[in-house]
Amino acid sequence: MRTQVAIVGGGPSGLLLGQLLHKQGIDSVVIERRSQAHVLGRIRAGVLEQGLVGLLHQAGVGNRMENEGFLHDGTMIAHEGQMFRIDFAEHTGKSVMVYGQTELTRDLYAARDASEGKTLFEVEDAAIRDAETEKPYLTLTHQGKAMRIDCDFIAGCDGYHGISRKSIPADKRHEYEKVYPFGWLGILSATPPVNDELIYANSERGFALCSMRNDQLSRYYIQCDALDDPDNWNDDDFWDELRRRIPEEAADTLVTGPSIEKSIAPLRSFVTEPMRWGRMFLCGDAAHIVPPTGAKGLNTAASDVHYLFEGLRDFYASGDMQGLDQYSGRALDRVWKTERFSWWFSNLMHRYPDQSAFDQKMQLAELAFLRDSPEAQAAMARSYVGLPY
Ligand code: APR
Ligand code: PHB
């Protein structure tokens, strides 16, 4: 089989890239290790920057999001029983779109199917070959048969556990990592959200987040031990603990119900450099991970897709390699700024096991500074709504 761009990974990065290329008349094949049902069963964050909203429209998949998503002009920050608001619209003129990653992925698959884009599910033993030459290719097994996909370029969109990053020789790659000493226990429940905007809460019992998918579906998180097991938490224990961590006015109006999903996510910051090896380009979680505080995972994947799409578009329009040559540098410049924001926001909001009394005072002083300083709020708002591409 031959295609122009072989895309490893059918998560949001690979699918969005595939649709943008399709609109430009550039052919791609997506290979995915799992089934479509498995990919659509993952529950991830649901806050989209305007840059990503724009890309979804550009890819022709923005309609359902526009109808069913919710625009948020600000967010609440709670600490020591009080709450203050960061007004995104006032500080940046922008807002964010609350729309679940699962729904977005569903829309991308529907568009790929409608455009008859080729997707191979449940592939095994995929390997990237000859990426450092002008004739890269993939080998894999699909439905029991060995296959080869020849291509001009490979997009490594296969997430943190994929093969793409590891296909770069170890002595050519530099990896930077920070593992946080806690996790997030999250639940999804068919209950109305406690507030019409998100509430990020710093409490002496640990962080809590009140988020949502729509007006009948809520997503809540509490900081927990990284090694904890979701089975240790029954729904009542979760709700009780959440109530203790959020301001009284929110706790009093919280509507609880059975959890539809319950899981623990670890928190990690990770970046690999460079994001290119010959004709293979890393995109999204394959190249970097952020802790979920601030919901930047999907949004950072989207900015990579934007830069890579531009490079590929220019190459196929005129043979110009400049955009592709600049891809890794442009993407990493924005990745590191977003890593900084996610690290800063995580440090601000969580309790650390080894936090001294002084460290706690510093955290509270930083929160008070944010509450009282329009300049600090503007800086926070700029990162939250998304840095420009
Ligand atoms: N061959 C084919 N597909 C693979 C392989 C492989 N060897 N290894 C992994 N994959 C697939 C995974 O099954 C997954 O569906 O690649 C896909 C990668 O998708 P994600 O992990 O979702 O990563 P990405 O598309 O970059 O999405 C960005 O934003 O909110 C964050 O982490 C969150 O998923 C999110 C991400
Ligand atoms: C979510 O809704 O899952 C969510 C929202 C905001 C975050 C993280 C997760 O910062």
Distance, in Å, from the CA atom of 77 to the CA atom of 66, rounded to the nearest integer, reads 26
Name the token pair of 328: 């890794």
Helix axes 12-23, 101-114, angle to 10 degrees: 40
Q: Ligand 1, atom 36: nearest CA belongs to which residue? A: 298
d(CA 327, CA 304): 8
Q: Look at the block and give the residue holding tokens 């002595």.
A: 171
Active-site position among 12, 22, 72, 109: 72
Ligand 1 centre and the CA of 39: distance in Å? 8
Q: What is the pLDDT along the chain (389 residues), one digit of tens a residue?
A: 999 999 999 999 999 999 999 999 999 999 999 999 999 988 888 899 999 999 999 999 999 999 999 999 999 999 988 999 999 999 999 999 999 999 999 999 999 999 999 999 999 999 999 999 999 999 999 999 999 999 999 999 999 999 999 999 999 999 999 999 999 999 999 999 999 999 999 999 999 999 999 999 999 999 999 999 999 999 999 999 999 999 999 999 999 999 999 999 999 999 999 999 999 999 999 999 999 999 999 999 999 999 999 999 999 999 999 999 999 999 999 999 999 999 999 999 999 999 999 999 999 999 999 999 999 999 999 999 999 99
CATH superfamily of 5-70+97-177+268-345: FAD/NAD(P)-binding domain (3.50.50.60)
Q: Which two tokens stand for residue 15?
A: 């699918």
CATH of 181-267+352-385, one of 3.30.9.10, 3.40.1160.10, 3.40.50.300, 3.30.465.10: 3.30.9.10
Q: Is the peptide bond before 274 cis (omega within 30 degrees of 0)?
A: yes
Is 352 noted as a catalytic residue in this protein? no
Q: What's CA 24's distance to the chain center, in Å?
A: 25
Q: β-strand 217-224 against 174-189: which pairing, if any?
A: antiparallel
> What are the CA-CA distances from residue 259 to residues 189, 232, 256 (Å)?
5, 14, 9
Ligand 2: distance of its center to the CA of 356 in Å?
Answer: 28
Q: Which residues does ligand 1 sit against, CB inside 6 Å?
A: 8-14, 31-34, 39, 44-45, 101, 123, 126, 157-159, 161-163, 284-285, 297-298, 301
Alpha-carbon span 143 to 122, nearest angstrom: 8
Report CA Rg, the chain. 21
Report residue 190 as tokens.
């068919």
Contacts of 149 (CB under 8 A, 6+ apart): 1, 2, 3, 6, 29, 31, 137, 138, 139, 140
With residue 143 as reference, give the H or E element that holds it: none
The DSSP secondary-structure symbol of 171 reads G
Domain(s) labelled CATH 3.50.50.60 in the chain stretch across 5-70+97-177+268-345
100 in ligand 2 pocket by Cβ < 6 Å? no
Residue 294 has φ and ψ, to the nearest 5°, of: 105, -5
- Residues 303 and 389: beta-carbon distance below 8 Å: yes
Catalytic residue among 12, 193, 247, 292: 292
Where does CATH 3.30.9.10 sit in the chain?
181-267+352-385
Of 99, 109, 137, 200, catalytic: 200
- Of 330, 284, 300, give the one whose Cα is nearest residue 161: 284
Atom of ligand 1 nearest to the CA of 45: 30
Q: Which residues contact 23 (CB under 8 A, 6 or more apart)?
A: 58, 59, 60
Half-sphere exposure of 170 (CA within 13 A, CB side): 0
Query: CA–CA separation, 54 vs 32, rounded Å?
Result: 26
